[in-house]
């Protein structure tokens, strides 16, 4: 069992022990994921681009907690949807590698369909 599988099992056990499974529909978990990601984003609100990230040292510890909340929601959602997250990431990276070959896009921040226009 890999680390991701072990963490997912712990997340599921945690929810089951509290009888929270009844609330963990894919829809609710997707909404929860969005909420938790926005709580993470909020910690960086008003940070200057060249300044400290996040803006205060106190928030730095909170970033880890919010990142963990995002991961917990994602692992829970993937379990409910029967998604092998490790495999999904590997497959997505393969698709992205085809869209964005390193030798063509290195150091550029364009969308895959904008490269011909930019290079021409």
pLDDT, tens digit (0-9, with 9 covering 90-100), for 88-100? 999 999 999 999 9
Instruction: Write down the CATH number for the domain with range 3-119.
Output: 1.10.287.1080
Q: How confident is the model at residue 116 (pLDDT cuts 50, 70, 90)?
A: confident
**Is 80 exceeded by the pLDDT of residue 118?**
no
Question: What percent of the chain clears pLDDT 70, i.e. is strictly above it?
Answer: 97
Q: How far apart are CA 65 and CA 58, in angstroms?
A: 12
Domain spans in the chain, listed from the N-terminal domain onward: 3-119
| Cα separations in angstroms, 92 against 3, 24, 43, 86, 89 | 20, 25, 28, 10, 5
Q: How far apart are CA 16 and CA 112, in angstroms?
A: 42
Q: With beta carbons less than 8 A apart as the criterion, state whether 46 and 37 touch.
A: no
Give pLDDT tens digits for 25-46. Answer: 999 999 999 999 999 999 999 9
Report the pLDDT value the prediction gives residue 119, as an integer from 0 to 100. Answer: 57
């Amino acid at each position: 069992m890999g680390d991701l599988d072990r963490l997912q099992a712990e997340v599921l056990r945690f929810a089951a022990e509290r009888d929270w499974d009844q609330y963990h529909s894919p829809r609710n978990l997707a909404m929860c994921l969005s909420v938790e990601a926005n709580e993470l984003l909020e910690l960086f609100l008003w940070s200057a681009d060249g300044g400290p990230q996040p803006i205060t040292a106190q928030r730095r510890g909170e970033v880890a907690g919010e990142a963990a909340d995002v991961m917990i929601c994602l692992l829970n959602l993937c379990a409910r949807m029967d998604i092998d997250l490790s495999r999904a990431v590997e497959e997505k990276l393969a698709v992205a590698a085809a869209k964005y070959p390193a030798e063509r896009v290195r150091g550029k921040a364009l969308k895959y369909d904008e490269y011909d226009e930019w290079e021409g």
